[in-house]
Every structure is written in structure tokens, then in C-alpha cells.
């Protein structure tokens, strides 16, 4: 089979990979660029299995990539959706504290959000809380009116359309098997044949560490998949949630806790939790991959993490297996909820990077090697920030790749 030649290949047709491809083609319309995706369509993994929240930037350490990307990302994502007629709803988010420890964390969260210049962020009293979310019971709450929701599957589709319209190719059902150097050129061997490339950008999400290793890069990280399970509220109970209701999170973990979320998909989600998945794309409890499981349990960082956080892990498993425990977490937000209110179920899988010391990598991690850029950790708010991240990666490509801008045509 003959090789196909490209100047740049992006691996992964998720929301960040497509945003990066779109951005590069806008800057360099003459380059030959392709996106490789192992699945049959765009956005089939994390980009298509999330609650669709457009985050405001409250949670993240000031000065971190997450903080900088998210604050700018919220505005750019909302504008992009409006300009491209993608349904979007700025419904607001209420973050609630139900005990004294939670109130202390909520005060710290307000300081973070203020430092990150989150628009309209404010503490609300009981009367204001009742107006925003009448069925919430809490000691104190923080309100972010600029938080919104969208169906990121629609966003990802528009990104893909933009890539094609700009002259880029998207190869679906194309899984990377190996990579090698041949006379100074990188050859990617895939399930659809070989691709000769000059530069590559790894946006493979759940498989980003595997792609990096295939290309000879030692990252010091391992992607550990965590399944987030959720319930859906039955239609008759959706009135209990007007917008987004979140608990104040534990700062020791990069997860935001079980919450209640209006969505643009036509239902209200209740969740998710965070349980270890035994398959990278393990959306069901019974999903298992020996290869993925062995990669997890043979990584030293996994055991170091487990020694420190085993109590949390057991708690999450208990909440996964027992609906009553899951319900109890939701009732900390809306006490009126009953077991009958929880109808359908669903799940997503988070690609969580863990380092050799057993730390859950909290911030975005983007690394560079010769002729390559690797996006190794891009969790929430990755979708919110996808336009900003795509621009950032394109900046790195300009600096590290030999890309030539299109010649300017003189206008007489």
C-alpha cells in the first residue's frame, strides 16, 4: 500500500484535536493536513460523553493553564456557538456548601474565582438562593451566572466541517499501529495504510500516552481511566433543577463531585461519580480489557495513588454499586429527591493522567518533542477551552514546526 504524505497530522478527532487542526488551517491554508481517528466519527469519546457544561473558571489555581484557558474559553465558546447557530444556554451555576467545612472551602473558592476574574461571581443569601434554585437547601452558596451548557457533539461536528472546508482531510476508522523514522521522515503505520509526515500533534485523549510511547516519547505519566456514572431525572422531576447545582469540591481531587445538571440533550443529569475503569473505553461496569488493566496495575504511580486514596476509592465503588448511597449524595443538594426520581443511566470515561509519584495530574500537560506535540492531560474544562487550547497548540506548532504562511496577494 502506498504512503500518503502530509505536512501535519493530528491524531484524534476529538474536540481539541479538531480545534487544533482548524486553527492551523486558518493560519496556514496551503499546508497539507489530516486528522486520524480510530473511530467511525468525530467526538466519540470524551468529547461526546460529558455533561456539556461551559465552565466559568472558578475552580482552578490562578495562573494555571486551566484558569487561563477556561476564563477565555467560556467567552470564545459561547460566541462560537452563537455565530454558528449551535444551541447554547447560559443558565448559571450554584455551588453549595452544606456544612461548616464546606463553607470554608466555598470562601476559598470565591477567592479563586475572583482572582480568575470570573464575571458576575457572588455569594448569595438564602433568599437569593431560593430564587435561583428553589429546591436547594444549603448553609451558603456561590453563584456563577455566566456558566452555560451546550451539546459538545454539535460543536465537534462544526469543527470537523470547518477542517474539511479549509482543505483538511479526516480519516476515520484509522488506528495508529506503529511509528518509525525513514530517511528523516516519520512514517505512521495505521489500520488504513501508511502516512508519511513531517510533524504530528497527539490529541488522542484516552490513548494519548500510548501514542506518545509509540512515537518513542517517555512521558513519565500513565492515563488511568475513571468512569463517571450518572442517573437521569425522570421528566416529572426535572422541575427540581433550574440550571446547574454543584457541591463545593474537595480541593485534594480534580473531580467536582456528584452534581445536578440541565443539559442540551433533553434531560437532567445527576452525577457523575468517579470509579476506576478496567478498560480505557469502559463505559459499562462489565467492560474489561486485559491490556488496559495490566497497563494500569503495572504502573508504580497507580499503587502509590491507591495507598493514599484507597478510602476514597472504596467509597466511590460503594456509591457506584448502591443507588441509595448515590441518592444520599444528591440529597445533600436537593433533599426532595427520592429514588423514584432517578430514572435512566449513562456514563463517560475521563482520561486522568497520573505521574510516577502517584499524583493525579490536575493541570493541562502539553509536551513537545522533535517534530511533535503531545497533549497528555486535557480534562475538564478541556471542551470549554477547546478554541483557546487549539490556538495555544498552533502557537507551539509555529515555534517548533517548519510551517510557511501563505503568500500575501498584492491588491492594486
The reported pLDDT for the residue numbered 6 is 96
User: Which whole number is the average pLDDT over 77-85?
Assistant: 97
- Candidate from 7-21, 245-259, 390-404 with smallest mean pLDDT: 245-259
What percent of the chain has pLDDT above 90? 90
pLDDT at residue 408, as a whole number: 43
Q: Among all chains, which residue has been given the C-alpha cell 508504580? A: 300
Quick one: DSSP state of residue 360?
A: B
Statement: residue 170 has pLDDT above 70: yes
pLDDT of 2 over the 70 cut: no
Q: What is the pLDDT of residues 22-49, one digit of tens each?
A: 999 999 999 999 999 999 999 999 999 9
What's the pLDDT score for residue 3? 73
Which band of pLDDT confidence, cut at 50, 70 and 90, is reported for residue 184? Answer: confident
**What is the overall mean pLDDT for the chain?**
94
Find out whether 113 and 58 touch, Cβ atoms under 8 Å. yes
pLDDT digits (tens, 9 = 90+) for 314-334: 999 999 999 999 999 999 999
Burial of 125 per CB tally in 10 Å (0-12, 13-18, 19+): exposed
* Band (225; pLDDT cuts 50, 70, 90): very high
pLDDT at residue 286, as a whole number: 96
DSSP notation for 140-201: EEEEETT-EEE-HHHHHHHHHHHHHHTT-EEE-S--EEEEEEETTEEEEEETTEEEEEEEEE
Look up residue 17 and give its three cell numbers.
Answer: 484535536
Task: For residue 381, give the C-alpha cell.
Answer: 474544562
By the 10 Å C-beta count (0-12 exposed, 13-18 middle, 19+ buried), 184 is classed as exposed
Average pLDDT, integer, range 106-112: 96
Question: Above 70 in pLDDT, residue 217?
Answer: yes
Amino acid at each position: 500500500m502506498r504512503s500518503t504524505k502530509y505536512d501535519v497530522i493530528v491524531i484524534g478527532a476529538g474536540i481539541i484535536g479538531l480545534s487544533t487542526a482548524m486553527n492551523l488551517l486558518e493560519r496556514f491554508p496551503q499546508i497539507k493536513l489530516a486528522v486520524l481517528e480510530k473511530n467511525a466519527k468525530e467526538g466519540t469519546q470524551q468529547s461526546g460523553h460529558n455533561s456539556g457544561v461551559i465552565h466559568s473558571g472558578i475552580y482552578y489555581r490562578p495562573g494555571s493553564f486551566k484558569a487561563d484557558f477556561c476564563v477565555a474559553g467560556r467567552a470564545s465558546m459561547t460566541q462560537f456557538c452563537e455565530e454558528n447557530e449551535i444551541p447554547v444556554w447560559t443558565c448559571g451555576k450554584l455551588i453549595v456548601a452544606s456544612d461548616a467545612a464546606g463553607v470554608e472551602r466555598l470562601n476559598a473558592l470565591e477567592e479563586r474565582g475572583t482572582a480568575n476574574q470570573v464575571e458576575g461571581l457572588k455569594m448569595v443569601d438564602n433568599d437569593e438562593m431560593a430564587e435561583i434554585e428553589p429546591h436547594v437547601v444549603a448553609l451558603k452558596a456561590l453563584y456563577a451566572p455566566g456558566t452555560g451548557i451546550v451539546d459538545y457533539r454539535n460543536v465537534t461536528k462544526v469543527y470537523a466541517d470547518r477542517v474539511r472546508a479549509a482543505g483538511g482531510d479526516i480519516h476515520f476508522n484509522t488506528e495508529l499501529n506503529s511509528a518509525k523514522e525513514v530517511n528523516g521522515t516519520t512514517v505512521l503505520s495505521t489500520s488504513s495504510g501508511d502516512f508519511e509526515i513531517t510533524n504530528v500533534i497527539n490529541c488522542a485523549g484516552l490513548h494519548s500516552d500510548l501514542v506518545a510511547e509509540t512515537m518513542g516519547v517517555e512521558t513519565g505519566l500513565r492515563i488511568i481511566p475513571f468512569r463517571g456514572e450518572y442517573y437521569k431525572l425522570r421528566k416529572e422531576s426535572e422541575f427540581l433543577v433550574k440550571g446547574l447545582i454543584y457541591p463545593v469540591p474537595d480541593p485534594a481531587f480534580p473531580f467536582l463531585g456528584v452534581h445536578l445538571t440541565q443539559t442540551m440533550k433533553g434531560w437532567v443529569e445527576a452525577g457523575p461519580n468517579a470509579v476506576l475503569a478496567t478498560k480505557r473505553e469502559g463505559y459499562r461496569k462489565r467492560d474489561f480489557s486485559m491490556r488496559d488493566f495490566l497497563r494500569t496495575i503495572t504502573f508504580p504511580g497507580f499503587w502509590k495513588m491507591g495507598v493514599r486514596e484507597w478510602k476514597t476509592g472504596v467509597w466511590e465503588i460503594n456509591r457506584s454499586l448502591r443507588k441509595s448511597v448515590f441518592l444520599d449524595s444528591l440529597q445533600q443538594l436537593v433533599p426532595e429527591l427520592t429514588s423514584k426520581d432517578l430514572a435512566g443511566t449513562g456514563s463517560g470515561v475521563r482520561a486522568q493522567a497520573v505521574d510516577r509519584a502517584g499524583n493525579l495530574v490536575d493541570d493541562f500537560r502539553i509536551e513537545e518533542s522533535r517534530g511533535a506535540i503531545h497533549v497528555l492531560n486535557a480534562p475538564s474544562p478541556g471542551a470549554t477551552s477547546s478554541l483557546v487550547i487549539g490556538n495555544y497548540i498552533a502557537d507551539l506548532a509555529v515555534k517548533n514546526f517548519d510551517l510557511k504562511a501563505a503568500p500575501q496577494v498584492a491588491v492594486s
